[in-house]
Amino acid sequence: MQVLFLASEIFPYAKTGGLADVAYSLPRALENLGVKVLRAMPLYQKVPWEGLVPLEKTLQVRLNGRPYTFRLFRKDNHFFFEQPELYDRPYIYGPPGGSYPDNDLRFGGFCWAVAEALGAGLLSADLIHANDWQTALYPVLHREIYRFPQPVLFTIHNLAFQGMFEKESLVRLELPWSLYHMEALEFWGKINLMKGAIVFSDAVTTVSRTYAQEILTYEYAYGLEGVLFKHRHKLHGILNGIDYQLWNPETDPHIYQNYSLRDPSGKEANKQAMLEELGVAAFFAEKPLFCFINRLSHQKGVEVLLSALPDLGRVNAFFIFLGEGEYGPQFYGLERRYPNMFAQIVFDEAWSRKVYAAADYILVPSVFEPCGITQLIAMRYGTLVVARRTGGLADTLVDVSYPGGYGFLFPDPTREDLLCGVKRAAELYNTHPRHFQKLRQRVMRLDFSWERSAKAYLRLYRSLLKGKR
């Protein structure tokens, strides 16, 4: 079986978020199961040229009334589509806080170029797997323009970003007006690329079972609940995983001291080293250490977190906040206001690993969470999770109040519920230290590796290839 995996970003070549990690790890896990996976992405400015081999044939794609020439480069099983006018820019999607105004052409053009490459025989596949709005036009082209025979799978990683553009983009993308109707791309007077992918793909997956149920409702679907409900027969929830080789406290070169489930003593050594580095070990070495490692955005519950800061300042624990985003300025000088807090508002992956290794608890108060990998990484490092019960968080955590539980879940993204979760966690740490250590061992035994997810995708691939929807 040969699969063509389309994504706008793939680690280590381009990364702005979790999609790049999925596009790196899932194909690798599928290859371990015997699937040949070809990856395709645009050739951005910052992709290193070393090892890229050009294919002789170029591709012509017509966009906005004129031809664009694409060149195709290969490195192992990765294919890069070069179009300097579209992709030779300092950012993948646009400058911080914004988007390039021609992103419809940039990513729609990529989808056209992929289809042209398949038609020309430069790429071949038994099945095509597209991801998120940037490749959402591909299923539309595959079914309605090229009418290729292979099945197409589309994965929704985050329904909040749908690829919506003014209806004039239909002309810019050289699409027929026959696609501008309620059963295709039209969406409240605009075009919606993700809607098109949902309609024209043979199967649609999202990144957790609970999120697959949530996006059928008004609260989570951002206007697409009707479309998703109509096509619910082809909707599947497959939980993401993490790469257990990339995230391994036993071998991680960035943390203060390596440790493992067999020898967890290094976990406490990491905490002590972190507190010493911050100059607070004398005051908080025996207290629980909480952390927040995520984007400082609405989705991640940062407004709730900010509203709770005065109350958290009275909790006998230390809090570390690491991330960047729209709410970053509100964390400046946090340690001057609250002696039990520290914030670093520039994301640093090496330092984030130190925090994962040092912390007793991680806070994940997300408003919505399609899957989330923060909690999976934390548990891999023996850090317990205090989280809102939503999406992938609900699928990966069991509250400690249940037999076999290991997390601290709260129902709503409110200051009161977050504080309740924090206080429950702090109380267990302070009053039941042996039980706390057992919970730490329990989360380190859990398996959220990509192997399990890849097996679920392989079953779905085989089902689609047999003609089942």
- pLDDT-derived band at 17 (thresholds 50, 70, 90) equals confident
Beta carbons within 10 angstroms of residue 208's beta carbon? 23
Domains of the chain, CATH where assigned: 2-241+451-465 (3.40.50.2000), 265-447 (3.40.50.2000)
Write down the pLDDT at residue 325. Answer: 87
Would you tell me how many other CB atoms lie within 10 Å of the CB of residue 444?
20
Selection from 39, 210, 59 nearest residue 130 by Cα: 39
Name the token pair of 259. 């440790």
Read off the pLDDT band of 469 (50, 70, 90).
very low
pLDDT of residue 466: 94
15 annotated ligand binder: yes
DSSP H or E stretch at residue 179: none
Strands (E), 198-265: 203-206, 235-237
DSSP 8-state code for residue 17: S
- Whole-number mean pLDDT of the chain? 96
Which SS3 state, helix, strand or coil, does residue 20 take? helix
**pLDDT (average), residues 111-135:** 98
Position 16 confidence tier, pLDDT thresholds 50, 70, 90: confident
How do residues 347-398 score in pLDDT, each as one tens digit? 888 999 999 999 999 999 999 999 999 999 999 999 999 999 999 999 999 9
Measure the CA–CA gap between 288 and 384, rounded to whole angstroms. 11
| 45, 51 contact by CB (below 8 A) | no
Task: Tell me how long the chain is.
Answer: 469
The amino acid sitting at 27 is P
Per-residue pLDDT, 349: 87
Residue 65: is it exposed, middle or buried by C-beta count within 10 angstroms (0-12/13-18/19+)? exposed
| Cα–Cα distance, 380 to 212 (Å, whole number) | 25
pTM of the model: 0.91
Q: What is the pLDDT of residues 298-350, one digit of tens each?
A: 999 999 999 999 999 999 999 999 998 889 999 999 999 999 999 999 888 89
Q: Give the Cα separation of 454 and 462 in Å (integer).
A: 12
Using DSSP, state whether 120 is helix, strand or coil. Answer: helix
Query: For residue 359, what are its two tokens?
Result: 């912390």
Residues 6+ apart with CB under 8 A from 314: none
164 pLDDT above the threshold of 70: yes
Q: Which secondary-structure segment (H or E) carries 409? A: strand 408-410
Q: What is the Cα–Cα distance from 302 to 323, expressed in whole angstroms?
A: 11
The pLDDT-based confidence of 430 (bands split at 50, 70, 90) is: very high
Instruction: Give every CB contact of residue 353 below 8 A, 6+ residues apart in sequence.
Output: 252, 254, 255
| Cα–Cα distance, 360 to 381 (Å, whole number) | 10
Listed range (13-27, 99-113, 249-263, 449-463) with the worst mean pLDDT: 13-27
| β-bridge partners, 410 | 388
Query: How does pLDDT run across 92-108, given as a tens digit for each residue?
Result: 999 987 899 999 999 99
As given in the structure block, the two tokens for residue 71 are 């060149």
* Token pair 């990765």: residue: 78
List the one residue out of 427, 263, 280, 425 whose CA is nearest residue 360.
425
Confidence band of 178 (pLDDT split at 50, 70, 90): very high
> What are 185-211's pLDDT values in tens digits?
999 999 999 999 999 999 999 999 999
Joined tokens for residue 15? 């990364």
- For 138, phi then psi, to 5°, come to -60, -50
Omega cis (within 30) before 139: no
Q: What is the mean pLDDT of residues 228-235?
A: 97
Are residues 438 and 428 in contact, defined by beta-carbon separation less than 8 angstroms?
Answer: no
Q: Is 395 helix (H, G, I), strand (E, B) or coil?
A: helix
**Range 50-56, long-range pairs (CB < 8 A, 24+ positions):** 51/75, 52/80, 55/122
